[in-house]
Amino acid sequence: MEPTTFGVLADGREVRQYVLANSTGMTMQVIDYGATITSLSVPDRNGNIRDVVLGYDSLDGYVNGSAYFGAVVGRYGNRIGKGRFTLDGSEYRLTANDGENHLHGGKVGFNKVLWDAAVAEGSGSPAIRFTYTSPDGEEGYPGTVTLKVTYTLTEDNALRVEYEGVTDRTTILNPTQHSYFNLTGNFNGKILDHLLMIEADSYTPVDAGLIPTGDVLPVEGTPLDFRAPRAIGERIEDAFGQLALGGGYDHNWVLRNYTGPGEIHKAAELYDPESGRLMTVSTDQPGIQFYSGNFLDGTAKGKNGIAYGRRTGLCLETQVFPDSPNKPDFPSATLKPGQAYRQTTIYQFSTR
């Protein structure tokens, strides 16, 4: 797996692109800037292979963009209210980069740094491991954190994402993968006809800043009920307060099948009736953020010069709940020295 040069950063460092391919035709391109997936090409029901993730043609887009296309976000995926939290009696203040709140690791999150890359041997499938060491105090977070993210492409068209993180001081860690999927492979169209199923009976409602209120509410009787597959566009404009706040779906669902660290369970299923492409998301995390691409507004010029309009892609981000550091009843994102943070999330592709 020989890398090619994808671009050069302002400080002269080279950004490299790697191609992972299995023997059945699925391919993935990934760069060491942000450990970003730049393309993911999978067959439809007739065997036509198309790229199903949004992204940019060149490094410029990734450096200057603010949509987190394809990147690993961290240290904390999603928001922390007012960018503040207390750990072991000390208060920490993180960069506020989303109004008064902290989002996806701050101004220079894991998506905006160069990672070390190494081809990962051993599993028999093409795999690459990215490593980033985040210095103590970066974006306000305590502790030096080293995070490894391994992408493996299996013969049965699964993308396996494994995370492993350690720290030298008590801190918080909640990285996630921020790919925007559009299973039609046509980025001029929207994701509103995709059918989504989420293995969740409840969700965490948010306030106007998209910070969880701390409540856990049933999805039953609301447009957030995806217990059975439903078209994303079916209820997205319903007069329901939570949808108005997010401009559509932008919430954390509480995964029913979560039993504890390390236990992988099915979290969601996304299906495009037109192409027949089906993506199943499995994870060992307690929550998933379904973000329907509401803030895409056509200003981001993506691959092949296509301007990405509202809802041309959607994210399914496996995670600990947003603002957990300030919500004692939510699953904890605390990581202590001597412990290892671990996450496995699998995006399995097939057709129907």
Q: Which residues are catalytic?
A: 178, 317
Residue 67 interacting with ligand BGC (CB under 6 A) = yes
- Toward ligand BGC, which CB reaches closer, 40 or 127? 40
Instruction: Check if the beta carbon of residue 316 is closer than 8 Å to that of residue 181.
Output: yes
- Of the ranges 162-170, 196-204, 288-296, 305-313, which one interacts with ligand BGC (CB under 6 A)? 288-296
- Of the ranges 15-23, 229-237, 268-276, 287-295, which one interacts with ligand BGC (CB under 6 A)? 287-295
Residue 210 interacting with ligand BGC (CB under 6 A) = yes
Count CB-CB contacts under 10 A for residue 141. 27
Closest CA to 37 of 13, 20, 14: 20
Closest distance to ligand BGC from the beta carbon of 162 (Å): 20
Count CB-CB contacts under 10 A for residue 257. 14
Closest distance to ligand BGC from the beta carbon of 76 (Å): 11
Closest CA to 79 of 341, 323, 352: 323
Instruction: Give SS3 for 266.
Output: strand
Residue 68 interacting with ligand BGC (CB under 6 A) = yes
* Rounded-to-integer distance, Cα 51 and Cα 95, Å: 34
- Toward ligand BGC, which CB reaches closer, 117 or 210? 210
Member of 291, 308, 341, 347 binding ligand BGC (CB under 6 A):
291
- Toward ligand BGC, which CB reaches closer, 184 or 319? 319
Count CB-CB contacts under 10 A for residue 146. 13
- Toward ligand BGC, which CB reaches closer, 291 or 321? 291
Closest distance to ligand BGC from the beta carbon of 23 (Å): 33
β strands within 14-167, DSSP E? 14-21, 27-31, 36-43, 49-51, 72-73, 79-80, 84-87, 90-93, 102-103, 116-119, 127-134, 145-153, 158-167
Site residues for ligand BGC, 76-135, by CB under 6 A, read 78
Member of 101, 204, 289, 343 binding ligand BGC (CB under 6 A):
289
Site residues for ligand BGC, 212-251, by CB under 6 A, read 250
Instruction: Check if the beta carbon of residue 130 is closer than 8 Å to that of residue 120.
Output: no
Residue 317 interacting with ligand BGC (CB under 6 A) = yes
Pair type for strands 217-218 and 200-204: antiparallel
Taking CB atoms, the residue at the shortest distance from ligand BGC is 291
Closest CA to 100 of 78, 76, 80, 75: 80
Residues of this chain that interact with ligand BGC (CB under 6 A) are 67-68, 78, 210, 250, 289, 291, 295, 315, 317
